[in-house]
Chain A
């Protein structure tokens, strides 16, 4: 059986490349039995949303008056350059 360390590595790689069928099945089996890795797996998706929200400038400067509503949507591709 897949170890948790290997399972987390697979959860991470799934964000960077498509996993093969065999990898997906092994990972799914592991996640069914492991709440820690299931949380990890969900949180990888959150981490991506947090990062892209941050990259969209949604982090608030304490003095900034702009209370934008951009937090939940990914930033649009900028094509101005």
Chain B
């Protein structure tokens, strides 16, 4: 742990957690995140409740230089991983492979490429200008959530286990009951879908494409 207490402008971490207005806002954000990961209101509420309790117990020892919110979200992510491990096998193989809607799960991906496997002119990735500047923009996160939401549910779920909960592919495979190859296929699909969605709804929105 860090030896410097960074209280910033908000007072001590303990005081932040004790402020009902801040706690309510934190709770709302946590619940939104947990619901997205777990796809289950009751489980999400449990995870958030447990995380907040752990934070309240641990806050006296917390002296990190990261924002309180980042720290609390770290606890929440661990709780979510615990729940996924405990409950496991909640995602069925067939739904992960994406055939529940009766459509070819690879159709969206294939549509980006010509038959020879090269980019269609309209889908060739364009350069993104200064992506880090978007991080401070509230509207960017709204678009990002909408793009996540736009992915097939279980594709999004595997993506989030990998990129937000930090599980490795071997663990995801065993939790979800798919092969390593399927895991790579799903992650490729998820990343390509998200990339395209962010590009057309945020980074290159309405601009002339010069590729």
Contact = CB atoms under 8 A, between A and B. Distances in A.
A58 B160 CA distance: 16
Interface string A11-55: 011011100000000000000000111011011101111111111
B113 A55 contact: no
Interface string B137-173: 0100100110000000000000110111110110000
A5 B185 CA distance: 12
Contact of B195 (A40, A49, A59, A78): A40
A8 B196 CA distance: 13
A70 B58 CA distance: 20
A59 B10 CA distance: 18
Taking chain B's interface residues, is the majority helix, strand, or loop, or is none over half, making it mixed? helix
Nearest to A12: B188
14 contacts: A3-B113, A13-B187, A16-B162, A17-B169, A36-B119, A36-B211, A47-B163, A47-B195, A55-B77, A58-B135, A60-B138, A65-B25, A66-B25, A76-B74
Contact of B25 (A12, A64, A71): A64
Contact of B29 (A6, A61, A78): A61
Given A43-B128, A52-B164, A76 B25 contact: no
A6 B192 CA distance: 12
A66 B113 CA distance: 43
Contact of B70 (A40, A49, A58, A62): A58
Contacts of A55: 33, 73, 77, 163-166
Interface stretch (B38-46, B61-69, B91-99): B61-69
Given A16-B184, A63-B25, A66-B22, A76 B71 contact: yes
A6 B44 CA distance: 37
Interface of A: 3-6, 8-9, 12-13, 15-17, 35-37, 39-40, 42-44, 46-66, 68-73, 75-78, 80-81
Given A39-B128, A72-B132, 6 more contacts: A16-B168, A40-B125, A65-B22, A66-B26, A73-B66, A80-B55
B78 A50 contact: no
B66 A75 contact: yes
B67 A51 contact: no
Contacts of B183: 16
B176 interface: no
Contacts of A5: 109-110, 112-113, 117-118
Nearest to A67: B136
